[in-house]
Amino acid sequence: MKPLRVLICAGEVSGDMHAAALMRSLRERIAGPVEFRGFGGDAMRAEGAELLYHTDRIAIMGITPVIRELPFLLGMIRHMKREMLAWQPDLVLTVDYPGMNLRLARFAHAHGLKTVHYICPQVWAWHRGRIPKIARMLDLLLCIFPFEPALFQATPLKALFAGHPLVDRAAETRAAPPAALPWQGRHRVALLPGSRAGEITRILPRLLAAAALLEARLDNDCSFIIPAPTPRMRALGEAVAAAAPARPQRLAFIDGQARQVMLQARAAAVASGTATLEASLMRCPTVLVYAASRVTYLAARLLVKGVKHLGLANIIAGQEVMPELLQDDFTPERLADLLHRYLTDEPARTATLQALDATNARLGAGNASGRAADLIVAELGLP
């Protein structure tokens, strides 16, 4: 039997995990063999995808880094377009990473290939004028927030809610045996500076300085763990920590296991992104932090309209369930104060946990990748 060919594209660590889960669900539902080829990370590779590019090289965020890497990125796009025409996949399945993936989807759709995009671009945050353009380049859009399909009602695009995939990953983490983690003190704090090199070099020194302040306030009875998304990012984080002017005594880097770390932590400081939603699902009181380059920050201020919060959990809740420290407001002193409150003020901690539970309930009951796979199989017309 001729294998079903799927060109699958995920450009970041979180997208790699979602894509890998979707690959498993598709294989469970398709009777014959399925070949996956494209770009992604270790999770996709473990599921059998042939990777032409790895997320370590392509997970780039911010105007300045993108400009610096533009020759590489443009060359990658040209290569992927040639791959589509030569391989002729039955499906081009793009996962998140809209800056590049929607450009590839538009090319694929124009050349008669079936296109499905998993994880709706944040058109509710970045101007809605993109909606008609997105609708013209896709056959199916799979959404992970329940309010997203309504944004495409005026277009011919099928936009369907599949549930949020992190609900399933969170349930798996809670059901697994507790991981043996190198905690060394009573007050356990998770530090997640981001998954990109630029984020780690910019954010981690402030996290370490805050941790040192917190450690002093709590009589050194603190323990801090940094779960690195990849070995390369762990090495970078360790180098940044070694050069940092201030750092806590009890600090450990580990490979992966971010959800287990946040499940066991009493509080966390997490760089804005998908990890903040994971923190919510792990019921870990969290302070959201972020610092971008000045150029990137000013551009974002101009582009983002009508969005009160940056954090996903806050957007879903419609209120601040995670304090947000951004740019100049993100100081070690302010972060240490907020973490100290989570660790020592039980009424505040209880109220925060109740708010996180209400937020998590809005994300669906689970089996998001299975639901998404069902919708893809139906779109392909497979039995």
Per residue in 48-73, pLDDT (tens digit) is 999 999 998 887 766 667 788 888 99
Residue 188 β-bridge partners: 223
For residue 83, count other CB atoms closer than 10 A to its CB. 17
Full set of structural domains in the chain with CATH: 4-164+365-380 (3.40.50.2000), 175-363 (3.40.50.2000)
Segment 292-318, tens digit of pLDDT: 877 776 666 655 655 678 888 998 898
Segment 212-221, tens digit of pLDDT: 999 999 999 9
Q: Quote the tokens at residue 368.
A: 């998001």
List of E strands, the chain: 4-10, 34-40, 50-54, 91-95, 115-118, 140-143, 158-161, 187-192, 222-228, 251-255, 267-271, 286-290, 324-326
The top-scoring range by mean pLDDT among 34-38, 54-58, 272-276 is 34-38
3-state secondary structure of 136: helix
Share of the chain above pLDDT 90, in %: 80
Q: What is residue 295's predicted lDDT score, i.e. its pLDDT?
A: 72
Q: What is residue 294's predicted lDDT score, i.e. its pLDDT?
A: 72
Contact 377, 30 (CB under 8 A): yes
When mean pLDDT is compared across 56-70, 178-192, 223-237, the lowest value belongs to: 56-70
Q: What is residue 124's predicted lDDT score, i.e. its pLDDT?
A: 80
Place of tokens 């399909």: 149
Beta-carbon contacts of 213 under 8 Å, excluding residues fewer than 6 positions away, are: 246, 332, 333, 336
Alpha-carbon distance of 158 to 149, in angstroms, equals 8
Alpha-carbon distance of 253 to 231, in angstroms, equals 10
